[in-house]
Copies of this chain bind each other. A is one copy, B any other.
Amino acid sequence: MMLKRSSHHIFFILLLACIASPGLSRAADPLPSWNEGDTKQAIVSFVTKTTGEGSPDFVPAGQRIATFDNDGTLWAEKPIYFQLLYAIDKVKQMAPQHPEWKQKEPFASIIKGDTKKALEGGEPALMQLIAATHTGMTGEEFQDSVKQWLATARHPETNKPYTEMIYQPMLELLNYLRANGYKTFIVSGGGIDFLRAFAESTYGIPPEQVVGSSLKAKYEERDGKPVIVKLPEVNLIDDKAGKPVGIYQHIGRRPVFAAGNSDGDYEMLQWATAGEGPHFGLLVHHTDGKRAWAYDRKSHVGQLNKALDAAPKAGWTVVDMKDDWKVIFPWGNR
């Protein structure tokens, strides 16, 4: 009996030692894919000081709004935006029903497989692509089409599904913020309906917490059933100065935490971090050409120039992907 008690004793001492040991306490690290260092420290300090009862920087739970850009911040955006790859695949799929496309740009070049030439038409070409592939159908039909595409399409360089081209450290950051009472939103230049087709299953962000670029829509009956139909008319371009507007319209208050990776996020970060009280601006800097892609000031996709210059003065935390992240994707590195 005494012996048993002793062994119990030893067991508890070992248990306490384990809890106190730096080696094992890492198991409870909410950001295991982030290397120790200033960046991780800044995030953890901010969350701690804004959520600790009695902290002078305490933010009430309802005001803990965190907004995340998507392309280049939560998932990759190379070689080009994935939504554009969806539109291109869709054009190819729809081509047999549109013989007139063989003589009409940007469709003709896309059908020939010359994406570069198709995109030389700039914004008007892009809008034609969007009108052809994103409008006329009901909202539910569009979502189904995107879901079907995401289930089968593969990234041209990694051969992974696009929903696996997401950044593991950012997933952990989303979870960490939510575990601390933050409400996480996507605020993306990408299409709101496109994002809503996967944001919940991929990031745990429900449709009502997705803000994005949008088209106008109308309500009508089709086959005797009330539906929403997507129209070929822009409602909001949720990029640059459109991001604070989108946030204001959808969320109705300034975020406390905002994360992006490009000049398209400059105004969102500027607005979020100009509010009274504590705030946090985060910029993901694509510095890792080996495990992912390295680009910034001169990139056609995800250009980061103005915002990178503004970061030190604005007090934004810049993530150096190469140094700050242990792993890039949930399945490893590129």
Contact = CB atoms under 8 A, between A and B. Distances in A.
A332 interface: no
Interface residues of A, number: 36
Interface stretch (A22-30, A79-87, A108-116, A242-250): A242-250
Nearest to A242: B219
B245 A217 contact: yes
A241 B218 contact: yes
Interface string A186-198: 0000001100100
A219 B207 contact: no
Contacts of A225: 274
Contact of A252 (B62, B185, B196, B235): B196
Interface string A220-262: 0000011010000001000001101100111111000000000
A248 B226 contact: no
Contact of A228 (B207, B218, B245): B245
Interface string A262-281: 00000100110010000000
A206 interface: yes
B270 A245 contact: no
A200 interface: yes
Contact of A267 (B62, B193, B219): B219
Interface of A: 62, 65, 139, 183, 185, 192-193, 196, 200, 206-210, 214, 217-219, 225-226, 228, 235, 241-242, 244-245, 248-253, 267, 270-271, 274
